[in-house]
Amino acid sequence: MSKSKPKPCPFCGCDRISRPYSLAGNAWSECQGCGVRGPWIHLPFGTDPDALIAAATAAWNHRAEPAPGPKEQEGKDADGKSS
Ligand SMILES: [Zn+2]
């Protein structure tokens, strides 16, 4: 796994995403443009900051991906046959 860059903010398009973290094992992503905060990451106390930042980046990028379509993802595997 190599370090990955955070994707631009899905809300305002800003690409300045900071990844604050605490030594207690919490990390998150925060958009410098609109201030939206990404998913919180909780890792064991004393986790390496690089790992915290990488996890926060991965979580942010996962959330920042555009939705696949107008439908919600729930029930994706159910009701497979309709036509
Ligand atoms: Zn933003």
The 10s digit of each residue's pLDDT in 6-20 is 999 999 999 999 999
The 10s digit of each residue's pLDDT in 46-80 is 999 999 999 999 999 997 766 566 665 555 565 55
Interval 29-36 mean pLDDT: 97
Residue 38: per-residue pLDDT? 87
Tell me how far the alpha carbon of residue 30 lies from the centroid of ligand 1, in angstroms. Answer: 8
Query: What does pTM read for this prediction?
Result: 0.72
Residue spans per domain, the chain? 13-43
Q: How confident is the model at residue 1 (pLDDT cuts 50, 70, 90)?
A: very low
- Three-state SS at 44: coil
d(CA 77, CA 1): 29
Tell me how far the alpha carbon of residue 60 lies from the centroid of ligand 1, in angstroms. Answer: 12
